Amino acid sequence: MTMQAPPPAIKLWTIAALAGLSWALIALAFASLAPSAVVPKIFHNYHVEHFAAFYVVALLGAAALPSVNLLRIGAVLCLIAGGFAAFRVLELVDKVFYVEDLACDIGGVLAAFAPMLVGRFRHLSAR
C-alpha cells in the first residue's frame, strides 16, 4: 500500500491574493466598460492608469496562482486587455488612443513579470 502525500494546503496569503485578484478584475472590467465620467481618476495621465492597473493585477495574479506558469498568467491578462480594447475600439472613434491603452496594459503585465522571470533565470543559471 502506497502512501500519498496530502495535497498542499492553501495558505492565507494565497486566499487574500485571490480575493484581491477577483476584485481587481471586476474593477478593470468596470473601468474599461463604464462611461469615463463615472470612473475615478487616480493619476493625471490616462495611460499611466492603464499601466498601473495591469501591473497590480499581474502581481496579484502571480501571488494568487503560485502553481500556474507566469507566461500563462501573462497571456491570459494580455487577452483580457485585448478584449477590453476591442470593446472600446468598436464603440468609439479615436482608435489610435485605445491601441496606446492596449500597449500600456501589456507593458504593465510585462513590467510586473520581468523581475520574476529574471530571478528564475538567475536561479536556474546558478545550478
Interval 84-91 mean pLDDT: 81
Which helix (H) or strand (E) segment is 83 a member of? helix 70-91
What pLDDT is recorded for position 97? 73
CA distances to 68, 95, 103 from 116, in Å: 13, 33, 20
- Cell numbers at 104, concatenated: 500600456
Greater model confidence, 22 or 39: 22
Q: Can you give the pTM of this predicted structure?
A: 0.83
- Cell numbers at 67, concatenated: 502553481
- Give CA–CA dist 98/30, Å, rounded: 16
Q: Is the pLDDT of residue 92 over 70?
A: no
What pLDDT is recorded for position 8? 65
* Contact indicator for 17, 64 with CB cutoff of 8 Å: yes
- Give CA–CA dist 103/96, Å, rounded: 11
What pLDDT is recorded for position 93? 60
Interval 105-121 mean pLDDT: 92
**Closest residue by Cα to residue 84 from 72, 70, 98:** 98
* Contact indicator for 96, 42 with CB cutoff of 8 Å: no
pLDDT digits (tens, 9 = 90+) for 29-87: 898 878 778 888 888 888 899 899 999 999 999 999 988 999 999 999 999 999 988 88
